Amino acid sequence: MKTIVKLEHLSHKYATAWAIRDINMEIADTGIVGLLGSNGAGKSTTMNILCGALNQTEGNVYIHGINMREHPQEAKREIGFLPQNPPLYMDLTVNEYLHYCADLRLMPKEKIKPAMDEAKERCGIAHFSQRLIRNLSGGYRQRVGIAQAIIHKPRLVVLDEPTNGLDPNQIIEVRALIKDIAVDRAVIFSSHILSEVQLLCKEIKMIEGGRIVFSDSMDAFNNYVEPHSVLLHMENPPTEVELLAVSGVTKVDFLTARQVRVYFNGDQEISERLITASVQKGWRLREISIDKSALDEIFKQLSNQTSLQS
């Protein structure tokens, strides 16, 4: 694996309170990495430091091997950043704004026009070149924000909650765009929506209370949160003993007289066996649903594990 980002013992303190503590991670130079965390977990702080927009209290950031603190200009050349509040100028047109951003990136004059055309094409905003940014919808403003992040063809693009505040159609479009720009570079994006991270990322870093509480592939994460209980609604429910007799069932909780939560040992054929038993024994099963662990529950489990380890 070639590394584009390396964070070493990164910690940051605002005034007196630590916002992040001892964050270590390495990120490969292609694919999408999701930084998942609830509000206030420390995602923006980590991303702002990673992009050189905030100076860390402790630790080091290396971008493509370059130390951000020692050589900020060289390190920032490799990064495109869309902060949580996109730095858009409402009274500029899309063209004027992108030109201004390319200038800020110190791009050579002759390369600016072709780079603008390519970024606009990629982000689907070419037809709005002359439009004032204030007259664009939220989804299109976000695309302009992404265009400024890729205009200088960085190896790494960092997007802080890029779908926040968008309507469902805009969310789908921006997600497709994120996938597209990750084809030839690394993308890190933050979100507090688990399903979004599951949909887009090959790797997930979960942050809670300023600490990384999970860091692995998406497959490993999905195995971790694999459901281990099902909810059954039966008109003629059996006794606890009868349910425990079904192979794989480890525990039974009666929620109401007809609703039961059945825990099982990870065996994914449990639903089939419960349905067969219900038909054979006349339990009159009306409904069966998988009980996925809620995101809050996962955060809690993972946070507890880390605090036990540390």
Ligand X SMILES: Nc1ncnc2c1ncn2[C@@H]1O[C@H](COP(=O)(O)OP(=O)(O)OP(=O)(O)O)[C@@H](O)[C@H]1O
Q: Rank residues 39 and 309 by Cβ distance to ligand X and give the closer one.
A: 39
Least distance between ligand X and beta carbon 236 (Å): 47
Q: Rank residues 10 and 123 by Cβ distance to ligand X and give the closer one.
A: 10
Single-letter amino acid, residue 222:
N
Asked if 63 contacts 79 with a C-beta cutoff of 8 angstroms, the reply is: yes
Helix 109-123 / helix 138-150 crossing angle, nearest 10 deg? 140
Phi then psi for residue 106, to 5 deg, are 60, 35
Residue with tokens 């870093």: 205
> Which strand (E) or helix (H) includes residue 146?
helix 138-150
Least distance between ligand X and beta carbon 160 (Å): 7
Q: Rank residues 145 and 238 by Cβ distance to ligand X and give the closer one.
A: 145
Q: Which of 42, 148, 40, 45 is nearest to 88 (CA)?
A: 148
Q: Rank residues 161 and 203 by Cβ distance to ligand X and give the closer one.
A: 161
Please report, for residues 68, 129, 230, 285, 291, the alpha-carbon distance to residue 272 in angstroms, rounded to integers and kept in the order given: 55, 56, 12, 12, 15
Q: Rank residues 207 and 234 by Cβ distance to ligand X and give the closer one.
A: 207
Helix ranges, 51-93 (H): 72-77
Q: Rank residues 16 and 169 by Cβ distance to ligand X and give the closer one.
A: 16
Collapsing DSSP to helix, strand or coil, 47 comes out as helix
Q: What are the CB-based long-range contacts (under 8 Å, 24+) for 290-297?
A: 290/227, 290/230, 291/227, 291/228, 291/229, 291/230, 291/231, 291/261, 292/225, 292/227, 293/225, 293/227, 293/228, 295/38, 295/194, 296/38
Residues that bind ligand X (CB under 6 A): 14-15, 19, 37, 39-45, 84, 192
Q: Rank residues 3 and 84 by Cβ distance to ligand X and give the closer one.
A: 84
Least distance between ligand X and beta carbon 191 (Å): 9
Q: Which of 22, 27, 17, 82 is nearest to 211 (CA)?
A: 22
Question: d(Cα 27, Cα 270) in Å, to the nearest integer?
Answer: 38
Q: Rank residues 15 and 183 by Cβ distance to ligand X and give the closer one.
A: 15
Least distance between ligand X and beta carbon 14 (Å): 3
Least distance between ligand X and beta carbon 22 (Å): 15
